[in-house]
Amino acid sequence: MSTIKGVIFDLDGTLLDTEKLYRRFWVEAARQMGYPMEDRHALMIRSMAAVYAEPLLKREVCADFDYHGVRALRRQIMEAFIDENGVDPKPQLLETLQAIRAKGLKIGLATATPEHRARKYLRMVQAEEYFDAVTCADMVKRGKPQPDIYLLACERTGVAPQEAIAVEDAPTGIRAAHAAGCLAVMVPDQDQPDDALRALCHAVLPSLVDVVGLL
């Protein structure tokens, strides 16, 4: 194993306890627009790029599902909720980032969330200052589960993929990190990995702070 020089984090569900909000508001938005979306459908598309999520929902929910319309409404009502209520960090978030920094390692972000919102959320939990680079899905041609975002995140953070631990909570992100050549580490949030997903992971850890023990 190469010497680890940096850690690249996913955002939602990994650093922030926001996946539950995505699940809630995807379903609320869809039902407001008359589509029979269920919680299990929202779970399927965590961190998934639109090019993959749209056909999946058309297949699983209904053929005329207006993905982009529902997503726009979901963003609107979720953002209003966050503006009023804030976002919750995962336990020991700042302690984890501080410990990584103390080891002299780089810290990057690889998220499907647009940059202005990702930085806004990081500021809400006093974490933005710890990141050397924030890399988002709209900066690459192909989103997760393709490796593009992790390859760019490593480049912008200043580490080679084989020198980076990538921390994710969802299957789509683990597949992207593994495909990029990073050491994929899963800290499960909404569900546990199956055997096939575990095979792609360098480690599956119970909490965020346990990442420090790998460094």
- The residue written with tokens 């690249």 in the block is 8
User: Where do the DSSP E strands lie in 60-139?
Assistant: 106-111, 133-136
pLDDT score for 1:
57
How many Cβ atoms from other residues are within 10 Å of residue 148's Cβ?
Answer: 20
Q: Which segments of 181-211 does DSSP mark as H helices, in order?
A: 195-198
Any domain includes 75: yes
Domain count, the chain: 2
Share of the chain above pLDDT 90, in %: 92
CA–CA gap between residue 130 and residue 142 (Å, rounded): 26
Do 66 and 102 belong to one domain? no
Is 70 exceeded by the pLDDT of residue 203?
yes
Mean per-residue pLDDT over the chain, rounded: 95
Kind and range of the H or E element at 26? Answer: helix 19-32
Within-domain flag for 48 = yes
Domain that includes residue 80, residue range: 19-85
Helix (H, G, I), strand (E, B) or coil at 170: coil
On whether both 77 and 53 belong to a single domain, the answer is yes
- Do 105 and 204 lie in one domain? The reply is yes
Would residue 1 count as lying in a domain?
A: no
Of all helices (H) and strands (E), which one includes residue 8?
A: strand 6-9
* DSSP code string of 79-106: HHHHHHH--PBPTTHHHHHHHHHHTT-E
Looking at 62, 85, 108, the residue that finishes a domain is 85
pLDDT above 70 coverage of the chain, percent: 100
d(CA 107, CA 198): 24
**Residues 104 and 47 both lie in one domain:** no
How confident is residue 191, by pLDDT bands cut at 50, 70 and 90?
A: confident
Last residue of a domain, one of 33, 60, 85: 85
The reply to whether the predicted model has a pTM over 0.85 is: yes
Give 36-95 pLDDT, tens digit per residue: 999 999 999 987 888 999 999 999 999 999 999 999 999 999 999 999 999 999 999 999
Domain holding 171: CATH number?
3.40.50.1000
The secondary structure element, H or E, covering residue 6 is strand 6-9
Q: Which of 41, 64, 85 is the last residue of a domain?
A: 85
**64 within some domain:** yes
**Average pLDDT rounded to a whole number, residues 98-119:** 96
Residues 93 and 34 in one domain: no
pLDDT tens digits along 125-171:
999 999 999 999 889 999 899 999 999 999 999 999 999 999 999 99
